[in-house]
Amino acid sequence: MKNCPESVRRRAEELKKSVLPMHDEQNQRDHRELRIDKVGVRGLKFPIQVRDKAKSIQNTVATIGMFVDLPKEFKGTHMSRFIEVLNAHGSVIHVENISDILRALQKKLNAESAHLEIEFPYFLTKKSPVTEKDGVMDYVARFDAAAIGKEIDFVLTVKVGVTTLCPCSKAISEFGAHNQRGLVTLQIRSSEAIWIEDLVAVVESCASSELYALLKRLDEKAVTERAYENPVFVEDLVRNVAVKLNADKRVTWYKVEAENYESIHNHNAYACIEKG
């Protein structure tokens, strides 16, 4: 048949032979003489496997960015080569392959530096505090890795939702106190690998209460009372996390940010501590 796979393949081969070399605009010299620090692709969805403390491996889907530096002499980079590098490492990204991907980007695009950002939902099963019913919680985790020459830099980020109860509101009110959900963004560099679960636990232990996917009435009572007994300002929250990180010798740098989505104000409360 005229359109059978074999005939299509032969036609493709004929076209390859007949096409003249195509003009490469990216390799043209740029007259502005300005180096670009990072250029590449962002917003790419790709399967990823990450190490899970409880189950060994967790499969999820990441949003990926891949970048290299561009010398001042060149007009543009070759965007398709980023995807080629990613696909060359298989249909799933493994965390252990990150440094290999960075090195391949440097080589494939003839770059001094390469950058990889990988952000993904990370799931943990949590039991409710009283009835001990399982619920699946999602967190945001992120890897930011860079190869600068021969050096590799790696930053792990986790974003953890929490409950905070206002100490001032509790102190001045005859009954009750306003509380709200907050978001803690924790970034670290470390001398050895640290579990995502362990960073989540650090953050949750520093708030008025942690969040749960499933709460029955007995659980809701316990969570509400726990928050009331443990009020924290947004300033307390970042300081509490920083104290625990300062005690962990594996952590060489951190940045902890907290933002409370205030329930009685028309604004959010924010605090940040950075070390190193």
Q: What is the DSSP string of 237-251?
A: HHHHHHHHHHT-TTE
- Please give the pLDDT value at position 128: 97
**Average pLDDT of the segment spanning 217-242:** 97
Give residue 26's pLDDT: 58
List the CATH code of the domain at 27-120.
3.10.270.10
DSSP labels, 146-186 = EEETTEEEEEEEEEEEEEEE-HHHHHH-SS---EEEEEEEE
Q: What percentage of the chain reaches a pLDDT higher than 70?
A: 93
Q: For the stretch 108-119, what's the b/e string if a residue is b when 16 or more beta carbons lie within 10 angstroms of its beta carbon? A: bbebebbbbbbb
* Alpha carbon of residue 12 to chain centroid: 41
The answer, yes or no, to whether residue 2 has pLDDT greater than 70, is no
Question: Residue 90 is encoded by which pair of tokens?
Answer: 């298989």
Q: What are phi and psi of 202, to 5 degrees?
A: -60, -50
CATH fold of the domain at 128-276: Urate Oxidase (3.10.270)
The CA dihedral of 237, 229, 161, 141, to the nearest 10 degrees, is 60
The whole-number pLDDT of residue 24 equals 58
How many C-beta atoms lie closer than 10 Å to residue 64's C-beta? 22
Residues 223, 200: Cα–Cα separation, whole Å: 18
Looking at residue 1, its pLDDT comes to 45
Q: Is 144 exposed, middle or buried (0-12, 13-18, 19+ CB in 10 A)?
A: middle
- Given a contact cutoff of 8 angstroms between Cβ atoms, the answer to whether 64 and 45 are in contact is yes
Task: Tell me: pLDDT of 21 over 80.
Answer: no
Per-residue HEC secondary structure of 92-149 comes to: CEEHHHHHHHHHHHHHHCCCCEEEEEEEEEEEEEEECCCCCCEEEEEEEEEEEEEEEC
Q: Across the chain, what does the average pLDDT equal?
A: 92
For position 256, what pLDDT does the model report?
Answer: 98
Q: What is the pTM assigned to this prediction?
A: 0.87
CA distance 136 to 123: 7
Query: CB-based contacts of 222: which residues, under 8 Å, 6+ apart?
Result: 129, 130
CA distance 21 to 19: 7
Which of 31-40, 81-90, 199-208 is predicted with the least confidence, judged by mean pLDDT?
Answer: 31-40
Expressed in angstroms, the distance from the first to the final Cα of the chain is: 68
> By mean pLDDT, which of 28-32, 35-39, 246-250 is the weakest?
28-32
Q: What is the pLDDT of residues 55-82, one digit of tens each?
A: 789 999 999 999 999 988 888 788 999 9
User: How far apart (Å, rounded) are the C-alpha atoms in residues 222 and 227?
Assistant: 9
Domains of the chain by residue range = 27-120, 128-276
Integer Cα distance of 171 and 253 in angstroms:
35
**Position 18 pLDDT exceeds 70:** no
Decide: 250 and 194 in contact? Cβ < 8 Å.
Answer: yes
Residue-wise pLDDT for 187-220, tens only, equals 999 999 999 999 999 999 999 999 999 999 999 9
**For 13-28, what is the mean pLDDT?**
63
Question: What would the pLDDT profile of 101-116 be if each residue is shown by its tens digit?
Answer: 999 999 999 999 999 9
Tokens of 3: 């359109």
**pLDDT tens, residue by residue, 136-178:** 999 999 999 999 999 999 999 999 999 999 999 999 999 999 9
